[in-house]
Amino acid sequence: MDGESKRDSYHSTPLVPMFHQYYQSPHPIVAPGGPGLFKNQEINQHLPEAMVKQKRRAATDHVASIALTDLAKYFDLPIVEAARNLKIGLTVLKKKCREFGIPRWPHRKIKSLDTLIHDLSEEAAKQERVNQAGAKAVTKRQKMLEREKEGIEQQPFMEIRSETKRFRQDVFKQRHMARARKNTTTNSSDV
């Protein structure tokens, strides 16, 4: 058979859509077993429990009762986990955020500030042994970052200050340079 005849024989059989036996029509169909039993109910009896489980909506009064203070408890979590802990859907949580004027979930801002605070606390411990004045400066910067974190938790629409952004960029650069130096020393020792 050449290419055209294969194609013709392939399409010569009419394609009829077949519905799966678990297809549920929006309109109940009376089953042959009797007028009181609908086909949808009969099928649901044979389905595994996981397939029959219906999605539940969060109660309207529960969603309406969520305040900004309730959301603030979960700012340190990703938005999906926060929605799960609040027992509401992601879309509903985003809607509540819009109601409170929160354009973006502040988890990443807070996580970034937490990382900087943690790095500064380690640096303060190192500086304390070497230089008392340096340790005071590091502690002062750490307290400033902690105040900024608290401000973002209270007003999540607030942006990180430009001074903090520059400091964060400097920390990233130092970390990158240290990693690059470490890699060059290990590569040169391998040769």
Do the beta carbons of residue 31 and residue 42 sit within 8 Å?
A: yes
Do the beta carbons of residue 138 and residue 123 sit within 8 Å?
A: yes
**With 70 as the cut, is the pLDDT of residue 134 above it?**
yes
Encode 33-55 in three state secondary structure: CCCCCEHHHHHHHHCCHHHHCCC
Question: What is the per-residue pLDDT for 150?
Answer: 93
**Mean pLDDT in the chain?**
79
Contacts of 94 (CB under 8 A, 6+ apart): 79
Question: What is the per-residue pLDDT for 92?
Answer: 93
Amino acid at 89: G
DSSP SS3 for 111:
helix
**With 80 as the cut, is the pLDDT of residue 118 above it?**
yes
**With 60 as the cut, is the pLDDT of residue 1 above it?**
no
Cα-Cα end-to-end distance for the chain: 64
Q: Is pLDDT larger for residue 56 or for residue 181?
A: 181
**With 80 as the cut, is the pLDDT of residue 173 above it?**
yes
